[in-house]
Structures are given as structure tokens and as C-alpha cells.
Amino acid sequence: MSTQAHPLSEVPILGSSQSAVILALAISVVITLAIRLSPSSSKGGVYDLGGIPILAAWPFFTKRYDFLRNHFASGKRYFQFHVLQHRVVAISGEEARKMFFNEKGLGLDEGYRILMGGAPNIDDISVQPKEGRVKDAELVKRMAVLFRKDRVVEGTDRTDRRMMRLTFLHPVLPVLFDDVHRRMNDWGNEGTINPFKELYDLVFQMTVRMGACRELADDKDAIERLTQHYWNIEKNATPTVLLLPWLPSPAKKTQEKATRELFTMLYNYVYLRRNAPTPSTDPIDLLVAYGDSNEAIVSVVMSIIFAGVINTGAGSCWILLHLASHPQWKDKVINELKALVANHTNGTSKEPLHKQLAAIPLHAWEEELPALELVIRETVRLTMSMTSLRRNLGKDIPLADTIIKKGDFLAYCNGDAHMNPNIYTDPEKFDPERYSEGREEDRKETFAYLAWGVGRHPCVGVRIAKMEMKLLTALILLGYEYELVDGAGNRLEKVPLQDRNDIQQARPLSPCYLKFKRVME
Ligand code: HEM
């Protein structure tokens, strides 16, 4: 393994000393934008919201789901508004959806980076990777290799020769079970947890194990700090930061500070692994073997952790919430999990639950839990009704009687399909049976089911995300009895509605906790 010095001081990270100049510049740009008033109009089949651009765009950043759905409900099929100097076209319907997910020139990353924020981005701290940045498409390839099935099970890799030298037989699954079990022990035998904190913490733990290195995954305090940095970046992705990215607002400064600290923290682990006497099979070592610079590896690991935590965290929480209020599905899943344990372990084993579950082969987790698969499918349909974003990086694209030009943005609310009563009967209802043979509601239109991505950008983490959700569900359903309670500890019979404007964490509209009692070690 090649060594690389630890010149963190050499990494050019800009401070915020230019604040005063930037502030003056920002104010003048805001004034310029604010006076660019235009009336609303309909041109080329696209309705222009008009008005003061910054005000017209504001609800897109504060209540995105309501903003898009309300405009479409009022009869507009396509409408546009401006974010900074950029044109954003919001689209709906099957034809536009097909174009959105299939069109080659539409870039995913730029869409999210500029219109969503919330993810750490080393551009915010002006780090210059010495050997160039890992391109978005390359980054996705790196992730795909790290999360291959055979690596999860036994660590072999047949397609990538550089990685092959380092990927020995090293099953990750038992380590994940150990990690989660150890952290669940901290809950005690009885109590109440906020799933949107505790389960997200467990998902962070698993994602760090899957996407970084053992030194970090074994250090609970370091993961706690890392988690804090991520939430600081996410919580401070305010409309001001997104609409006025040059304004040195407190939120922007907090984001930059968190990104810098996150970068420094991960950089130290990359340095540690690169200079370790013997390479391991951990993801950071594999990325070192790929030949990437320390800075590039940090940016890959940062993205893996963000992509890995956000949706898996929400999915894990909502599976438990929905099962609590649908006892027939809960029983079905529990029976299925018990059968899985009985079929794959020694029925008389005195091993603790997490050890028994860890002994079950991955293929059995993937193939022998049909009811849990349906529950996951339905849960992610409901949680993933957020907005997909793209930027046109290629040639002009015709839409209605208008042209989506290079540099324009497109926004498609997945709720247009997922919450469409013509596709999904009673779409707000949790009804895992809707996918079963004979009903197959998700096949009524092209790309009617978008929860794992479709077309050009399917999710590369789907396999590991499903495994993580199954692992958590199994440990909780078999190891604990639980019910839903509100903030005052009163039992909730019905699951609260999801706040669809909570675009990152997908929390419920009213507080909801899990009251639990341990029933099996
Ligand atoms: C419940 C968990 C998850 C859900 C529901 C989910 C869903 C999605 C969806 C809908 C997309 C497409 C977005 C779009 O078209 O705009 C996507 C893309 C992606 N996902 Fe996931 N995801 C999950 C977990 C993960 C995990 C664990 C990872 C890896 C660490 C991951 C990595 C990615 C990446 C890298 C892409 C972008 C692919 C590309 O640019 O071509 N996801 N995911």
C-alpha cells in the first residue's frame, strides 16, 4: 500500500475572512433579483409563476411537497419559477416522468446539490483534491463495488482486479449484527425511545461500518461526533443558504464549520488506513487501492454515509411505525422471521438472538421473507414521495411546446405517482397487499414505483439498505415487544401522518415514540 503524507495543513481550506466583501456583493445581487418582477403567464404549455423570483421560489424550499402538489392540483401540468438565475421547471404526468428518468443529459447530482443541499459537499470548504475530483459517475461506480452482494457475504470480488487483491473472505453481516446488538443494549430492558433519533443512530453505525473503516466504526464517540456534523449540515440547509449561497449567514457558517470538521475527521481515518502496516478489507482501504487521493476518498466516504443514512433511516423507522398499527402484518412478519431462524439455525441454540440471526445466510434474508419484502416495498413507497431533481447538462430537451435548455433544472414530485389514486387505490393507506399477484398496482403506468430509483439512476444501495432494514426489524420484532406512544406516553392506536415537507428525515407530523420491553436476549 502506498503511503501518503498527512499534510492536512497543506490542504487548501478557505476560511470565511472574505465575509464582508461577500455580504456586500450578496446584498446587491438580492436587490437585483428582487426587482426582477414579472407577471405570471403561460407560455409554451408551461405556466410561469412570475412575481418576485425569490418569494415565488421560497415555498419550494420550506414546504416543497405542498408547493408542488398544490400547483398541480390547481390544474397546471408543468410550471416554472426561478432559483437565483436558474430556471426550474416542475413537471407531472407519465410522459414527463418517462423523459425525466430516461433522458441522458439530465444530471442527478447537480440537481440535488443546488436545489436540496443537506449533503456535505467539499466544494463548500474549497478543498482542492490534488489529483482531481472523483466524478459523480465514478463515485457511483465505487459505491456499487463496495456494496456488491459477494462483498457483503464474503468479500470476494470477481470484476475489479485492483480490488480483488484486497478483498479477502471477510463477512460484514455478523459484524453489523454485533454492532447493532451492542448499541441496542444501551437502551436497557424497558423504556421509550424516539425512533427518529435512536434508529437513525443505528443506521449511522451500520453505514459507517459498510462505508468507512473499522477504527471509526468501533468508536462510538467518534460516530456520535460524525452524526452531529451530518445533522448540522442537514438542518442548516435553510432556504437562505440555498437561495443565497454567497451570503455568510449563521446557517451557512455552521454548515461550513461542520463540513470542515467532518472532512478533517474522515481525512484522519483515511491517513491512518493508508499508512497502516497491513491493508484491511474495509472500504477506505479498497478506495486507497483504487488509487484515489486522500481528499477524493474523503468525498466518496462522505457521500456514501449521506446516501446510506437518510433513506434507510426513514425506512427503518416507518416500518416499525406501520407494523405497530397493523397487527396482522406484524404477526405475519414475526412468524416469517421465526420460521427463518428455525430453518437456518439449530432450534435448540442457546446463542443470543443477534448471533442466531447473524448465522442466517444472506440469500435466505433476501429470498425467504416475502411478507417483510412487501412491507418494505409499501413503506418506502410512502416515505419516498419526495421530489426528484435533475439539471440539464446536455442538449436541449423539448417539453410540451417549450425547450428545457442546458443549465435548466427539472423537479418531479414522486408523489405524482406514489400518491396518485389512479395508480394506487387509497394511496395514503398502508396496504402491502397492493403489490401481490392479481393487483400489482405498481404496474399500472410506466415508472409508477419510484422508491428505489428507475431509468438512468437506480439506487446502488438497494441491497444493503434492504438488508439493514431487515436486520433492524428482526432484532426489534423478535427481541422486544413495543407499542407506539405520544409525547405524554399515551398509547397511539394509529400511526401519525408523515410530514411530507420534511424532505430529509421524513418524520411524523406529531411526536411518536416506541415504548418497548425486551423479551429475548
Ligand atoms: C431505504 C433506503 C434507500 C432508498 C429508499 C433509496 C432510494 C433511492 C432513490 C429513489 C434513488 C434515485 C434518486 C433519483 O432518481 O433522483 C437513489 C439513488 C441512489 N442511492 Fe439510494 N436509497 C436507499 C439507500 C441507499 C444506500 C444505503 C446507498 C448507499 C450507501 C444508496 C446510494 C444511492 C446512490 C449512490 C444513488 C445515486 C445513483 C446515481 O446517481 O446513479 N442508497 N436511491
pLDDT per position as a tens digit, 184-194: 999 999 999 99
Confidence of residue 30 (pLDDT cuts 50, 70, 90): low
* C-alpha 457 – ligand 1 centre gap (Å): 8
pLDDT digits (tens, 9 = 90+) for 250-291: 999 999 999 999 999 999 999 999 999 988 888 898 888 888
What is the per-residue pLDDT for 38?
62
Q: How far apart are CA 388 and CA 379, in angstroms?
A: 18
Question: How far apart, in whole angstroms, are the C-alpha atoms of residue 20 and residue 243?
Answer: 19
Cα angle for residues 431, 434, 437 (degrees, 5° grid): 145
Pocket test for ligand 1, best of 152, 311, 319 (most atoms within 8 A of CB): 311
Cα 142–455–95 angle (5° rounding)?
Answer: 155
The percent of residues in the chain predicted with pLDDT above 90, rounded, is 65
Strand, coil or helix: 139: helix
Query: For residue 106, what pLDDT is reported?
Result: 96
C-alpha 116/C-alpha 134 separation (Å) is 21
Query: For residue 135, with 0-12 CB atoms within 10 Å meaning exposed, 13-18 middle and 19 or more buried, which class applies?
Result: exposed
Of the candidates 305, 303, 321, the residue with the CA atom closest to the CA atom of residue 206: 305
Does the domain at residues 8-518 carry the CATH identifier 1.10.630.10? yes
Other beta carbons within 10 angstroms of residue 381's beta carbon come to: 26
Instruction: Look at residue 401 in the predicted model and tell me its pLDDT.
Output: 87
SS (H, E, C) 208-226: HHHHCCHHHHCCHHHHHHH
User: How much is the CA Rg of the chain, to the nearest whole Å?
Assistant: 24
Ligand 1, atom 15: closest residue by C-alpha: 453
Ligand 1 centroid to 113 CA: how many Å?
15
Q: Tell whether residue 459 is among the known ligand binding residues.
A: yes
Q: Which residues line ligand 1 (CB under 6 A)?
A: 108, 140, 143, 304, 307-308, 311-312, 315, 380, 384, 388, 450-453, 457, 459-461, 464-465
| HSE, side-chain direction, 13 A CA sphere, residue 187 | 26
The DSSP string of 454-492 is: -TT---TTHHHHHHHHHHHHHHHHHHEEEEEE-TTS-B-
Q: Which pLDDT value is given to residue 184? A: 97
Domain definitions of the chain by residue range: 8-518
Task: Tell me the whole-structure pTM to 2 decimals.
Answer: 0.89
User: Backbone phi, then psi, for 282, in 5-degree steps?
Assistant: -70, 155
- What pLDDT sits at residue 166? 32
- Dihedral sign computed on CA atoms, order 392, 395, 399, 402: positive
CA of 38 to the centre of ligand 1 (A): 37
Span of 29-43, 172-186, 281-295 with lowest mean pLDDT: 29-43
Question: Using CA positions, which residue lies closest to atom 18 of ligand 1?
Answer: 459
Given the C-alpha cell 459498510, which residue does it identify?
Answer: 210
Instruction: Report how far ligand 1's centroid is from the alpha carbon of 310 (Å).
Output: 9
